[in-house]
Structure 1
């Protein structure tokens, strides 16, 4: 067996060096789902001066509490309850191999990861100095599954949003090709800081950056706003969430039929087909890892979302079983 403890400790030292001690009292709950990052993230938080409410942070390969995927609301319920019943300002969940995070607010409400992208993008564009005057320095990458609220948050902060293909390997490739882009993120919870960090997705560093941001931006203990109020600046719209749709036939043939079905509308083919509606959008893309289609729709209102879904069913419901969509 290879013991990587020394390496992880050196990473923690670098994170503490970058972030510094948090200069106010802040209580954060963390749920590591008994996965690898657990003891390390508790150690990091203590070194940052964070009061930590830790749950499921001991290693257990049977994962007795729940699966280690913090982007699924069902896996964050224990954390939600702990935050709501404690003094924690928010809660962080981490995944099994330490490259993704998920979050709940001070009320235990699950926060979709793309809203975190908007929050971090706004903070970097408004507060971080490096290369912000160049076009590339103002560019933020996000994947095709993200809410239109992400692009709106970027634009309102003086940035330029660029939609890219889903998949953390593709995102890293984009950052390598454009090294002065300072931040990128995915709906899946992968976040890539390329301003003061080296552009890879690390749940330890990303958690520390979130704590730094919240500690600097709000202090509810002294009459300031809470985490949910901080997030309220990031637009949130009704959506279906991410739906996994099985299909019959050849994938390429199905996607060709989908493109043809929406040929009268504007759509992007960055990754699958993302159709633009006047008040929302619809995405259909083949999964990178499973023989399924990934679909998501979003509307500015519930009525707009229902109208989009009705149109989608009318156009492709005859070639794909859309029972799982919404």
Structure 2
């Protein structure tokens, strides 16, 4: 949904766990740690046109700098009534994604993430450590990050094909020593 609402915007703020589709349909994309406060602060600081995260928090800075479900519904309804929603939907690529939660005691998260980062630096991916460890290539990406609200490590992955997604998830699990 982020990529649809952000479609054609010049400067968009989204979280590190958002789809690579956002880069395909927007101008400049700025990624932040997960959380609507981080998105809102970055939208304000960067004078962005839109902010949103996959959890459903969307920020329209021309109105205000906080997520607003009613405004999001109104914007979406307007797009549908103008037939723009479905035109944009046809224009946005659909990629297979996977989200996995792995139980992890709170006191073990820092040690595990340090190990993941060490392993990640040896791989041939673009590395982003703004919130966890995100490894990206043209064919897909995966993010390993400790949950801030639960005793889990989360793996989020997206790829251009199901085969590539399975390969990426396997690499992520191997980095956590989980097969």
| TM-score when normalising by structure 1 | 0.51
From 166, 169, 172, the counterpart of 2:34: 166
The answer as to 2:64 corresponding to 1:192 is: no
SS of residue in 2 equivalent to 1:166: coil
Deviation at 1:228, TM superposition (A): 4.8
Deviation at 1:311, TM superposition (A): 2.3
Question: Which residue of structure 2 lines up, in the alignment, with residue 272 of structure 1?
Answer: 132
Of the structure 1 ranges 290-299 and 182-191, higher mean CA displacement relative to structure 2 is found in 290-299
Instruction: Note the alpha carbon deviations across 1:229-284, whole angstroms, 9 max, x for none.
Output: 541211111111x3222124521111000101111233100110001134111101
Does the 8 A contact of 1:277 with 1:308 survive in 2? no
**What's the RMSD between the two structures over aligned residues?**
1.8
Does the 8 A contact of 1:150 with 1:235 survive in 2? no
Higher share in strand: 2
Instruction: Note the alpha carbon deviations across 1:205-235, whole angstroms, 9 max, x for none.
Output: 11001111121235xxxxxxxx555412111
| TM-score when normalising by structure 2 | 0.89
SS of residue in 2 equivalent to 1:264: coil
The answer as to 2:176 corresponding to 1:308 is: no
Stretches of 4+ moved more than 4 A in 1?
Answer: none
Larger radius of gyration: 1
Does the 8 A contact of 1:184 with 1:192 survive in 2? yes
Distance of 1:314 and 1:181 partners within structure 2: 37
Q: Does the C-alpha gap of structure 1 residues 313 and 175 become closer, same or farther in structure 2, counting only changes over 3 Å? A: closer
Listed as ranges, the matches of 1:108-257 within 5 Å are 116-122=1-7, 125=9, 138-154=10-26, 159-178=27-46, 180-195=47-62, 197-218=63-84, 228=86, 230-240=88-98, 242-248=99-105, 249-257=107-115
Distance of 2:165 and 2:14 partners within structure 1: 22
Does the 8 A contact of 1:191 with 1:201 survive in 2? yes
Gaps of 5+ in 2: none
| Greater RCO (Cα-Cα under 8 Å, separation 6 or more) | 2
Distance of 2:11 and 2:66 partners within structure 1: 17
SS of residue in 2 equivalent to 1:232: helix
Distance of 1:228 and 1:279 partners within structure 2: 25
Of the structure 1 ranges 280-289 and 227-236, higher mean CA displacement relative to structure 2 is found in 227-236
Instruction: Note the alpha carbon deviations across 1:154-188, whole angstroms, 9 max, x for none.
Output: 1xxxx11111110111112212323x312000010
Instruction: Note the alpha carbon deviations across 1:27-55, whole angstroms, 9 max, x for none.
Output: xxxxxxxxxxxxxxxxxxxxxxxxxxxxx
Tell me the number of residue pairs that the alignment of Structure 1 and Structure 2 aligns. Answer: 176
Deviation at 1:199, TM superposition (A): 2.0
Does the 8 A contact of 1:153 with 1:235 survive in 2? no
Question: Which residue of structure 2 lines up, in the alignment, with residue 299 of structure 1?
Answer: 159
